[in-house]
Structure 1
Amino acid sequence: MDHEFLADIDDEYEKLVIQLNPPRVTVDNTSSRKATLVQVGSAKRQGSLLEVVQVLTDLNLTITRAYISSDGQWFMDVFHVVDQSGNKIHDGEVIDRIQKSLAARASISQSSRRSVGIQASSEHTSIELVGRDRPGLLSEIFAVLSDLKCNIVAAEVWTHNLRMASVVYITDEDRGGPIDNSDRLANIKHLLRYILVGDRDKRSAKTAISVGVTHTQRRLHQMLYADRDYDRSDAAGEDRSKLVVNVENCTEKGYSMVNMRCDDRPKLLFDTVCTLTDMEYVVFHATVIVEGPEAYQEYYIRHVDGSPISSEGERQRLVLCLEAAIRRRNTEGVRLELCCEDRVGLLSDVTRIFRENGLSVAQAEVTTRGSQAVNVFYVTDSSGNPVHSRMIEAVRNEIGQAILQVKDETHAKASAEESGSFSLGSLFRSRSEKLLHNLGLIRSSS
């Protein structure tokens, strides 16, 4: 039977299930003293968990705990969330946005779900770039775009294991709006690839241009995963002491179990769920607990076809991919925030000054709000080491002390005593075991 016909039947069936069982979103500010509880229930389909986590992440909410269960045809997720200051969500407008956004996401049809987060835009053209990272690369990319009369309205850049991935949104400098001339687009691609290739990356440098793009940060994960940044030998020297990922099979229930422990940071849950989803694993049960500076995540997963992990090679690959997903967004270097009136060529000029003063951009987020440019850069020296303060001051003097601010996010973390660390892990395990016992995933010892 024709596969497209079967897919259409599946689409219509899922639409009917969603109509008969509309998503339920509740926001509870009374059950917990420390956090707002967001509970989401809906008909189950692949990608549902990622959509919900993506909405909460895009609203800049911090998830301190999560309990996920989705056996059968229904999923139920409970998230403990706080705002960026660590407070409960009391703003009625924010609560309303959570409810509407999550309900809308949970209602997306199967056909839309195949490209979760794709938002075709009539306002810009998006460019995807992957290549070998090197000092000055971002400066060269922005300079080429400026010379080609492209205005950069937004961009996000990640580097990991000496690889660089970037999604850049551009408009035509003269008339605004997307660039749709095929010859001009081909020339942009050609010149950018020439910059990416340099003299060392003739095979793996990639460029792509489209009028729409998957959720930007999800796309960056996909690009680096496709680039196999997770298994490059460059990772050999990384400090893995604070990151533990274990994968084993829970044969009694037919699941594979993933345990992770690492330093907590914003968007950590999105990064891990995104990776599991794009590797075509389904999360059936999960527990996420953040205690102090550490985060613990436990997932019970299967393949989309219902089978657990079947080989040691696959197990090792999943461990490497999850480690990479966590490390890609780990911010290294000094955080610099640039806020000023936007103008054509601004990013080209700023990153050129970085390069001329020996700074290398490890991560960047470029946004335009009205007429204002609001940009964040994490910079190191050209060897990837911490930057000396005099280098930062030289750059600030050249760009402008008032518009380029240093935001030092490093803060002293009290080293937990051995007994304290053990009791924290025990706390997680006891709560996790209680939840899993209730779900029937482990047996009582009695």
Structure 2
Amino acid sequence: MGLLAGMSAAVAAAPAEPIRLALIEGLSGPFGNAGEAVFRNLQFTVERVNARGGVKLPGGARPLALLRLDSKGNTEEALSLLRSAIDQGARFILQGNSSATAAALIDALNKHNEREPQRRVLFLNYSAVDPSLTNERCSFWHFRFDAHADMRLNALTDVMRADTRLKKAYLIGQDYSFGQQVVRRAREMIAAKRPDIEIVGEELHPMGRVKDFLPYATKIRASGAQAVVTGNWGNDLTLLVKAVRDLGLNVKFYTFYGNALGVPATLGDAGVGTVLAVSEWHFNVGDAGSDAMVGAFRRRFPNPQEDYLHARMQLMVEMAVAAMEKARSTEAVPVARALEGLSFQGAAVGVPHSGLMRAEDHQLIQPLYVSGMDRAGAGGPKWDVEGSGYGFRTVRRFDGPLTALPSRCTMTRP
């Protein structure tokens, strides 16, 4: 009886099987810093979920486990890692730092989930913002938690419209689906909202391969542009703004990602009043929840170079947890149905952000902020970025319903 009792106790004490989330991202290569920054965000929120007991399911609470899979920024490698992640038991794939890779993963998951219904997988997208991913290429298995490029541009160009001094703009982007979309749609939106603004340059450059942006900066100078509109991210953005700064140009940058990954420190005082970024949230929103989350993140990652925090990534994991608990399952179909139409207030779990997952196209509808760079402290923003001494203050906030754009999705559901 003693042996049996001991065996029963051992079984009872066995840890619960974790729910595996597989991050497939470029964690090395030219955009490795951006991939590592995403990993820290996801690690932070996974740890917070587990600290409060994990995901509450009928068989008992289960922890989350985050798998790191380095695609090296290569789409073929990402597709190979997708197969590896599924074989390791992951039923949630997380990716975002390339819309081209996201499109390939969506196509692969559509085929996999039809071929192997017993091992279906969901794709949670935190930053691949090509609009087609929730329009023409929408999929029941894919959910996007970032505002897509047209939604972000709509906010940026609304702010541009109000700048009556702006007469000349230069458009530049990375030469792949997302960068092409930003340049094309920026031209169209500016023409519709401010036809008096002249587009004095339009440029696409190789993604992740340009080491010296001085030739591009020289073209911007020669054009007489007062503003640059770009969707560039990672080192392609940092090197671009550095080249423009080195020429001493007084231009405004309207960016998607100018509030992180070295850009504020690179620009210094030259960025004050000239660099704007559009995001779902920023450090200096000013509420107690935001201050608490920034403080907690900095305690977890005290190195200023690791100071990259985005509320949408926290919200993504928390909404997936809420959907699992609502569905009482970790299976793809019931979790997807629970996510559809889910309205989530993150404040209840320490995330100062909220959103509605639109059922028709699986696009998260959420507030957007356009913020401008300023010196931190002494009347400026409370929190700086990456120890740079510069932070961002709100220029304009757009409520969630104001950010929504019509969808062209025709979704096939199981």
- TM value normalised by structure 2: 0.26
Going by fraction, where is strand more abundant, 1 or 2? 1
Going by fraction, where is helix more abundant, 1 or 2? 2
Higher radius of gyration, 1 or 2 = 1
